[in-house]
Chain A
Amino acid sequence: MKRSHSRFLIRLYPSAWRTRYGPEFQTFLESRQVPLWDVLNIAACGLMERVSEAWQAALPLIGFAYWVTVAVGFSFYVAISDHPSALLWLCWAGMVATCATLTAFRLGSAGPATLSVFALGALSTLVSIVAALRLGTRQLAVAVAMLWVSQIWRGLTRHYAAIIVPGRRKLALLGIAMLSSAAFGLIHRGGFAGNDIWSLLFFPILVITDTLWVTRRVLAEKR
């Protein structure tokens, strides 16, 4: 196969793959006749590698969008008994749509879908904060905002890897942020109310389950 053709085919693969296997794959292709069927095989496999890479890169965003969805759903669940409204049901519908999008994403799409999930997560967070403020559950608005920041942080620090490797300072800060959001609610209302108790219970549970899940995953990777 001609060098220009082999170079073109190798460019179909992601850059990390090319760095590792590019030179040897090019030598391999140039040392033999490559029929049309093999060209199609290389093109398909190159695209599969790209999808696989995009999927790996999207995992933190999926986690982020998932927790934002949970937070949005929960914030309106907490508010529903006191403030039923059309907006509430609209947001429930939005939550279901987000879950459906995430499921569709899980089933194999990539690339633009990554941005869609991120945009949807950001949008639902914003709606959640505005709606929670309008419904008078200010501590939930703060908590959701905290959750949003924490999930971006989580994505950036590779799933709480800091918990196991260099120290626990980041987790401690996250816990303080979560609990302070609930404390803010208590101070704001001047005592315990239904929403505050749920907030106090919800966020430690969320952090613990998330941490256990991530710990399990990091330990599995280490093995």
Chain B
Amino acid sequence: MQDPDLGRFSDPPLLVLASLADGPKHGHAMIDDIEQMCGARLGPGTLYGAIARLEREKLIEPLPEEDRRHPYRITASGARLLRAKLSTINHFARIGLKRLETM
């Protein structure tokens, strides 16, 4: 199956997927987790834009509501996409670092 195209919004959805990789979270927890994970702080609009796109692409799914907040969890196709993207980034980073060493 072809991977969904997340287009120019690919970074925030990728951060959300990475945040959900270790378990379900709601929006507040995702923002804090992403900030701890990579130092990037997503704005609330950006976060919910990413959540809406990922849910539309069935890469994440909402869990039952808790105090008017929906925790979200990553789906199997979301995990597959995240693994593929991170492998590409990993490959790219290794090659880039190796080239820097030779400078």
Contact = CB atoms under 8 A, between A and B. Distances in A.
A19 B20 CA distance: 24
Interface of A: 17, 20-21, 23-29, 31-32, 34, 37-38, 41-46, 48-49, 223
A146 B46 CA distance: 45
Given A21-B52, A49-B49, A42 B68 contact: no
Nearest to B53: A52
A198 B7 CA distance: 41
A146 to B, nearest CB: 36
Given A21-B51, A21-B52, A24-B27, A43 B67 contact: no
Given A23-B68, A24-B68, A28-B69, A42 B45 contact: yes
Nearest to A26: B68
B43 A32 contact: no
A29 B49 contact: no
B4 to A, nearest CB: 11
B100 interface: no
Contacts of B67: 27
A41 B48 contact: no
A48 B8 CA distance: 13
B28 A45 contact: no
B1 interface: yes
B64 to A, nearest CB: 12
A45 B48 contact: yes
A24 B70 contact: yes
A21 B27 CA distance: 11
B46 A45 contact: yes
B44 A38 contact: yes
5 A-B pairs with least C-beta separation: A45-B45, A41-B43, A42-B45, A27-B68, A41-B45
A44 B28 CA distance: 20
Contacts of B27: 24-25, 28
A21 B48 CA distance: 8
A91 B56 CA distance: 43
Given A17-B52, A21-B52, A49-B49, A41 B44 contact: yes
A26 B69 CA distance: 9
A26 to B, nearest CB: 8
Contact of A45 (B1, B26, B49, B69): B49
Contact of B69 (A17, A24, A32, A41): A24
A46 B49 CA distance: 9
Interface string B35-60: 00000000111101101100000000
